[in-house]
Amino acid sequence: MNPADLPAYAVARRTATGDLTAAAVAEACLDRIEKRDPGLNAFSVVLADEARAEAARLDAARAAGEPCGPLHGVPVAIKEEIDVAGCVTTFGGAANSTPAARDAEIVRRLRHAGAVIVGKTRMPEFGQWPFTESVDGGITRNPWDRSRTPGGSSGGSAAAVAAGMVPVAIGGDGGGSIRIPSACCGLYGLKPTRGRVTSDPMAHLWYALGTAGPLTRTVLDAALVYDVVRGNLAGDRFTAVEPATTFMAAAGADPGRLRIGWSNASAVPGVKPAREHADAVVATAALLAELGHDVREIDPRYPDATAAFVPQFFGGVRAEADEMEHFGRLEARTRQTYKLGAWVTDGVLEKALAAGERVSERANRIFTGFPGQAGVDVLLSPVIGPRPRRVGALARGGTVAAAMKSRPMVAWTALWNVTGNPAASVPTGIAADGMPVAVQLVGRVADETTLLSLSAQLERARPWPLLTDPDA
């Protein structure tokens, strides 16, 4: 088997035992990037020389008897918005020009665990949209069908993993940006509980909305990476209660008999899921019942999160834009977003955060129960409304037009950024159009472990297909 096709947990095990060298794995992934990325545009920067040097150092350290970290020799790609020392943190645009002086803490932890950073991945400017298209970076394409979007905003990360260029890529999720591209590209993408992963060097990511995390081909890979990167620093505005067990242990554990509620209803009025997505929810509900869970259709009674989400969206974009070295180089649409958000003062943001707490209290009654409806342990829903659309979504129009195109893509994801609940995109198979299909699992705040156990059970019962040759 080509080392580039191995999951991260297998790479780490085999390089630690000496069955495989970190250099061989890095070379296999760099070869894949050279051959496959020109048609996909997943990478903005490829750190080939640095990756080769780091892999050689890891091999030498192992030969000298030094202990191997849990990600020993695992190639990892990093989304453009996260600092990698020596690389310009572009946020998907051209408004910065000075390379970062140090790694963000999440990158430092990855390196400390033995990961080999191979490059940075594309995103729309400031991650505003669920389509990975930008003036500076061009269009990123879906490896399953290059005429379609990989989603966004972590679309470069998703395309890199789905095309077998790396086993793991780090993304960010402020409204669905890990889950949406995972759904579009047939990957596993878990948005963790708010505060689970440090936001260093920033105090927050779009205030209460954003978090970082991996996109992977397997549940176990996601658990492995989260056990490395989770945890806070003193400067983080948000923190999370530590789980009672490791994520790896959770991914390998039987979830027990859970109460699972399913619904195809949307949190955004007027948005309905594509037939393929609605059918996937129903089929997954049936499978979960076969696996012994208490499964029932429920009315989620979603609250309206607009007053909480919109100010944080505008405030987050404006805060990041204010930190850019060359404001005039921002895309015209981004400058329009900045102008449209001028009403979002500090006072407005504080009110939005308070509104978010009220939304969270209401939304989490899904788990505690409504009058006449018992609570559940996990909510099952679609991830996105439409099938992955054709590329070029951002070719025309300003902020309002982009927001209208984004609306059906985030109708099932953005609420859980407002509330801070963990939520995962779990692949279910391939539809008649040849593109992946997925469902979303949502858990209680700070209960990623239940989602990992349940996701792994689904993965065992219904293994999802991986794209083996995107050039075929």
How far apart, in whole angstroms, are the C-alpha atoms of residue 194 and residue 171?
Answer: 15
Map tokens 């963990």 to a residue: 422
Token couple for 220: 């176990």
- 151's torsion region: left (phi>0), alpha (psi -120 to 50) or beta? left
How far apart, in whole angstroms, are the C-alpha atoms of residue 450 and residue 255?
Answer: 6
68-90 burial, b if ≥16 CB within 10 A, otherwise e? bbbbbbbbbbbbbbbbbeebbbb
Which positions are catalytic? 79, 153, 177
Other beta carbons less than 10 A from residue 309's beta carbon: 24
Give me the torsion for CA of 461, 218, 142, 435, rounded to 10°.
Answer: 0
Token couple for 103: 């790694």
